[in-house]
A and B are shown apart, each in its own frame.
Chain A
Amino acid sequence: MQISKAIITAAGQTQRTLPLQTLVDRDGTPKAALAILIEEVIRAGVEEICVVVCPGEESNYRAAAGRHASRLHFIEQPSPLGYGHAVWCAREFIGAKPFLLLVSDHLYLSRSAKGCAQQLVEIAQAEKCAVSAVQSTHESKLPYYGAVGGRLVHGRQRLYQVESVIEKPTPTEAEQRLIVPGLRAAHYLCFFGMHVLTPAVMELLGEAVQQAGARGGVQLTSALAKLAERQRYLACELEGRRFDLGASYGLLTAQLALALDGKDRAEVLAGLVELLAARSGN
């Protein structure tokens, strides 16, 4: 299974400006968050990238992509009919091929030599099926994420066979349907914002879009829940962390993480120490 295409969704009403924010990357270069994300995709060996945006946003995004702008395809989501609908808008770009899917308001920091997207793509190619990146998450964060339930693939670490998928579950539901052996108490596997999906997902989304009509509310998680019933579908904990730019202090935290992982680490640390010292001196 070869993955050569990626979708980055950026059509959410609340996230449209986040990918345009400028951060200083690990190499000390200021870049838009979108550009950092595109580099993550390219590092995974995926060359064709489609960005799903709100109508009229293409030029802003193209500008933010900098030197990568030329390789981007832009598709507009005409009206906000749900995250699943945004993904479905890119169906023609994808065709009948598996694809990498990322949200545009997250940044990823790998703890290994390989980038997060690269790790995910390699696993999907090896396993020849859809794989979602997941992260063990405390139940208090359940209102923010989709979550999966399942069990470890026999003989493997951090790779799970997905049995159920629920969008923003309550802990009540999670305890009943999403318990995964081996996780710490009160922790669940929540989506990392990064998936490798098969074309079957587009079919499922197509059905959902048709059913929903103008009412909208098409969710990717519902399609993934059906996918788990039809195909082998895995979830994988990657060697890395995600940073949600939309959370409180999300941009700041992401920036600090990038800086502390990059060439200016010493300078940033010194700056932080100075700040703390000045504060405690007050």
Chain B
Amino acid sequence: MTGAVGFPVWGTTARLLVTDPRRLDAARAALDAELTAMGAACDRFRADSELSRVNAAGGRPVEVSALFAETLRRALDVAEATGGAVDPTVGAALVAAGYDRDLAEVRGGGPAPRLVRRRVAGWRTVHLDGRVVRLPRGVLLDLGATAKALAADRAAERALADTGCGVLVGLGGDIAVGGPPPEGGWRIRVTDDHRDNGPGDAPGQDVVISAGGLATSSVTVRRWRRGDQRLHHIIDPATGIPAASCWRTASVAAATCVDANAAATAALVKGWSAGTWLVDQRLPARLVRLDGHAFALAGWPEETPVAITSGGRAG
């Protein structure tokens, strides 16, 4: 038996599950603390966030908090580990594509952007020295993906420390688990049907994990229309415009949610070469082609038809 709670955060849904329902409040407090701290550090849409101050520094060095420095360091590590496919310097490209406000507002409409194919400044231009960050003038960071995944990792770890029971933290498509899992493991529905972000009946594949992270990135979720253009939030750093991926969704399991998120996003950007890359990295993955055909790679279980009973208990 598990305890569960869900609530909206950062334009998506947070879900928290614990194997001991009596510890749900303590776990929720741990999650809230991490979300608050990460929001203050890395929320691109908050004028008072550290990220906004760094982006507005105009080339001057900025001293940042330990959490911001850790998030940026992880983002730079991700950029290097993915060969630059996931790059934190895509902030200006996202703004150019119209993603300059919360997604709900972006979807409200606006003028069609004039997209220019140009490589982004690149993660190597970011200078992080201890807790001092310096960006070249005009470069804007977006730490969204890494920050959310890291928040999930940190919250799971903190909730485990505070409760001692098994914990699952889900932030949008990013899942981190910690502690002893429920009997049989954490059962996860992997899908690219986004009408239901809870334990629902969305078509997809069920898998079981017991540790680490599982993340799904998709070009079909955070998307919006401008004029006759359909845009999404996965920017290809090589072109500075939304990635023209052959995959619509990538799900990856890794030792941490940050690594899983990085690999899933990189897979969308890398396109056809993602399969080989994921196998080389030994990262189990499920890639869904634009036509809906799913591929299981690097130890990801083959798909079998699933029939869901109604009224079952979560966990």
Q: Do A and B come from one complex?
A: no
Interface residues of A (CB under 8 A from B): none
